[in-house]
C-alpha cells in the first residue's frame, strides 16, 4: 500500500510530539522502569547529563540555541523587501571572501585574461553555479527546516547523510583555506608586524563568536 504524501508543515511537529510522548511515558513508569531503561541503553545516564548541560548552555542569554530544529510558523518573520535585501547582502558578503577573491585572480595571472573578461567569467560562473542552490533555498521558508533537513523528504533518511557528509568535508576545507589566506592578508596589511599564525587565530576567533552567539551579530554588522 502506498504511503500518504508527507506534509512538510505537519510532519516535523508530529515527529516531535511522538518523541515527547515516548519520553513522558518512559519517565512516568516509576523508578523500576527508569532503572531498566538505563541498564538497557547503557549510556543513558551520560546522555542525560550531556542533555542537561546542553539545555543549561542554551538557556544563557545571547547564545544561538536553534540547530536543526524546525522553525514553527508563529516564529517566522514575514516576507518583506528589506528582509530579502538583507539576505542578498548577507550572501554577497559571504561570497566576497578571501578565498573567492584569490580564485578570481586566476584569470589574469594564470589564463592571461583581461580585467573585464575575468569579471564576466566570475559573474556568469557564479550565476550558473548558484542556480541549483538558489532553487533548493526556497524549501527552507516553506517548510521551516534547514536545507540539509529538507533533503530527508526527497532522498530518505540514510541517503541524505551522503551530501551532508560531503558538505562537512567541503566546508572544513573551505574554511581552512579562508583562515590561511585571511592570516596572510592581515600579515601583509600590517607590514609584517603580525605573523600569519596570529592572523589565523584572529579570523578564527571572529568566526567562533558569530557561531556561538548566533547570526544576530552578523545581521547587525550587515545592516
For residue 36, the model assigns a pLDDT of: 40
Whether 183 and 197 have beta carbons less than 8 Å apart is answered as yes
Confirm whether 74 is domain-assigned: no
177 and 124 in one domain? no
131 and 160 in one domain? no
List the chain pLDDT tens, one digit each, 223 residues.
444 444 444 444 444 444 444 344 444 444 444 444 444 455 677 888 888 887 777 666 556 666 777 888 888 878 788 878 877 887 787 777 777 777 778 888 888 888 888 888 888 888 888 888 788 878 888 888 887 787 777 788 888 888 889 988 988 988 888 899 889 989 999 988 899 999 999 999 988 887 777 666 666 666 6
115 and 88 in one domain? yes
- Distance of alpha carbon 17 from alpha carbon 29, whole angstroms: 19
C-alpha cell at 129: 553555479
C-alpha cell at 124: 556568469
166 and 132 in one domain? no
Q: Encode pLDDT of 64-98 as tens digits.
A: 666 777 888 888 878 788 878 877 887 787 777 77
**Phi and psi based region of residue 162 (left: phi greater than 0; alpha: psi -120 to 50; beta: remaining):** alpha
Confirm whether 12 is domain-assigned: no
213 and 160 in one domain? yes
For residue 200, the model assigns a pLDDT of: 94
Confirm whether 147 is domain-assigned: no
Confirm whether 76 is domain-assigned: no
- Distance of alpha carbon 212 from alpha carbon 42, whole angstroms: 31
160 and 132 in one domain? no
For residue 205, the model assigns a pLDDT of: 92
C-alpha cell at 35: 532503572
202 and 167 in one domain? yes
> Closest Cα partner for 143 from 6, 7, 8, 5?
8
Confirm whether 18 is domain-assigned: no
159 and 132 in one domain? no
Structural domains in the chain (count): 2
| This model's pTM is above 0.75 | no
Confirm whether 47 is domain-assigned: no
Q: Which domain holds residue 175?
A: 155-223
Confirm whether 148 is domain-assigned: no
122 and 170 in one domain? no
For residue 44, the model assigns a pLDDT of: 76
168 and 119 in one domain? no
Cβ neighbour number for residue 101 with a 10 Å cutoff: 13
212 and 163 in one domain? yes
For residue 43, the model assigns a pLDDT of: 66
Q: Encode pLDDT of 180-191 as tens digits.
A: 988 998 999 998
Confirm whether 6 is domain-assigned: no
For residue 19, the model assigns a pLDDT of: 40
Q: Which residues contact 93 (CB under 8 A, 6 or more apart)?
A: 222
159 and 130 in one domain? no
Amino acid at each position: 500500500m502506498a504511503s500518504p504524501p508527507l506534509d512538510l508543515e505537519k510532519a516535523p511537529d508530529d515527529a516531535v510530539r511522538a518523541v515527547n510522548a515516548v519520553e513522558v511515558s518512559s519517565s512516568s513508569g516509576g523508578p523500576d522502569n527508569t532503572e531498566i531503561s538505563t541498564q538497557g541503553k547503557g549510556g543513558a545516564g551520560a546522555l542525560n547529563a550531556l542533555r542537561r548541560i546542553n539545555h543549561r548552555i542554551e538557556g544563557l542569554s545571547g547564545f544561538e540555541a536553534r540547530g536543526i530544529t524546525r522553525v514553527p510558523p508563529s516564529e517566522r518573520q514575514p516576507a518583506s523587501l528589506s528582509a530579502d535585501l538583507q539576505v542578498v547582502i548577507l550572501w554577497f558578503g559571504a561570497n566576497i571572501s578571501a578565498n573567492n577573491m584569490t580564485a578570481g585572480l586566476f584569470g589574469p595571472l594564470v589564463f592571461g585574461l583581461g580585467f573585464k573578461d575575468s569579471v564576466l567569467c566570475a559573474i556568469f560562473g557564479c550565476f550558473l553555479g548558484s542556480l541549483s542552490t538558489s532553487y533548493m533555498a526556497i524549501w527552507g521558508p516553506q517548510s521551516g527546516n534547514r536545507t540539509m533537513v529538507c533533503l530527508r523528504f526527497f532522498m530518505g533518511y540514510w541517503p541524505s547523510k551522503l551530501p551532508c557528509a560531503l558538505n562537512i568535508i567541503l566546508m572544513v576545507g573551505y574554511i581552512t583555506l579562508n583562515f590561511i589566506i585571511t592570516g596572510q592578508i592581515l600579515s601583509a596589511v600590517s607590514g609584517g608586524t603580525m605573523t600569519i599564525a596570529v592572523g589565523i587565530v584572529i579570523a578564527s576567533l571572529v568566526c567562533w563568536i558569530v557561531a556561538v552567539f548566533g547570526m544576530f551579530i552578523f545581521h547587525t554588522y550587515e545592516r
